[in-house]
A = this chain, B = another copy of it.
Amino acid sequence: MSLNHLNEQDLHYLASLVDTARCSTGESALNTHSRDQSRHRPVRPEVVIWPQSTEEVVAILTYANERRLPVTGWGSGSSLEGNPIPVCGGIVLSFGYMNKILSVRPDDFQIDVQPGVVYKEMNHELRHSGLFFPPDPGAGATIGGMIANNASGTRTVRYGSTKDYVQRLTVVLADGEVIELGNRASKSSSGYDLLHLFVGSEGMLGIVTEATLRLAPIQEEFAWAVATFSSVEAASRTVLDVMRSGINPAAIELLAPECIEVINRCKGFDLTVSPTLFVEMHGASTVHLSEAMDLLQVLCGDQGGIDFRPGLDRAERDRLIEARHSLGEMIRQVHKDQHRIVIDVAVPISAYPEMIAFAREAAGEAAGTTAYIFGHAGDGNIHLVVGAKPDDALAWQAIDRLNQRMVMKALEMDGTATGEHGVGIGKRKFMPAEHGHSLAWMKKVKTLFDPNGILNPGKMFPD
Complex contact B179–A419 (CB within 8 A): no
Within 8 A of B (CB), among A172-188: 177-181, 183-188
Q: How far is the CA of A168 from the CA of B209 in the complex (A)?
A: 30
The size class of the interface chain A forms with chain B is 35 or more
| Chain B CB within 8 A of A189 CB | yes
Residue of A107, A178, A287, A291 most packed against chain B (CB within 10 A) = A107
Complex contact B189–A205 (CB within 8 A): no
Q: How far is the CA of A272 from the CA of B425 in the complex (A)?
A: 64
- Measured CB to CB, the nearest residue on chain B to A444 is B448
Complex contact A436–B180 (CB within 8 A): yes
| Chain B CB within 8 A of A417 CB | yes
Known contacts A178-B437, A184-B415, A187-B419; 6 additional CB pairs below 8 A are A107-B350, A130-B246, A187-B346, A188-B418, A246-B284, A283-B284
Chain A interface (Cβ within 8 Å of chain B)? 105-110, 130, 149-152, 156-157, 161, 163-164, 177-181, 183-194, 196-197, 199-201, 205, 217, 220, 240, 243-244, 246, 248, 283-285, 287-288, 291-292, 346-350, 379-381, 410, 413-423, 427, 431, 434-439, 441-442, 444-446, 448-449, 460
Q: How far is the CA of A380 from the CA of B185 in the complex (A)?
A: 7
Q: A185-B380, A347-B185, A348-B108 are in contact. Are A192 and B246 (CB under 8 A)?
A: no
Ordered by A's residue number, 5 sampled pairs between the chains whose C-beta atoms are within 8 Å are A110-B348, A180-B438, A181-B438, A188-B346, A194-B441
Q: A188-B346, A380-B186, A420-B187 are in contact. Are A200 and B194 (CB under 8 A)?
A: no
Q: How far is the CA of A152 from the CA of B438 in the complex (A)?
A: 27
Q: A189-B418, A434-B190 are in contact. Are A105 and B350 (CB under 8 A)?
A: yes
Question: In the complex this chain forms, how many copies of it are found?
Answer: 2
Quote the shortest CB–CB distance from A417 to chain B (angstroms): 5
Quote the shortest CB–CB distance from A365 to chain B (angstroms): 24
Q: Which residues of B contact A348 (CB under 8 A)?
A: 105, 107-108, 110, 184-186
Q: Which residues of B contact A417 (CB under 8 A)?
A: 190
Complex contact A197–B189 (CB within 8 A): no
Complex contact A418–B190 (CB within 8 A): yes
Complex contact B201–A187 (CB within 8 A): no
Residue of A107, A150, A188, A414 most packed against chain B (CB within 10 A) = A188
Complex contact A442–B240 (CB within 8 A): no
- Measured CB to CB, the nearest residue on chain B to A422 is B189
Lowest 8 CB-CB distances: which A-B pairs, in order?
A184-B414, A107-B350, A188-B416, A185-B346, A196-B196, A184-B348, A179-B438, A185-B415
Q: Which residues of B contact A108 (CB under 8 A)?
A: 348-350
Q: How far is the CA of A72 from the CA of B213 in the complex (A)?
A: 35
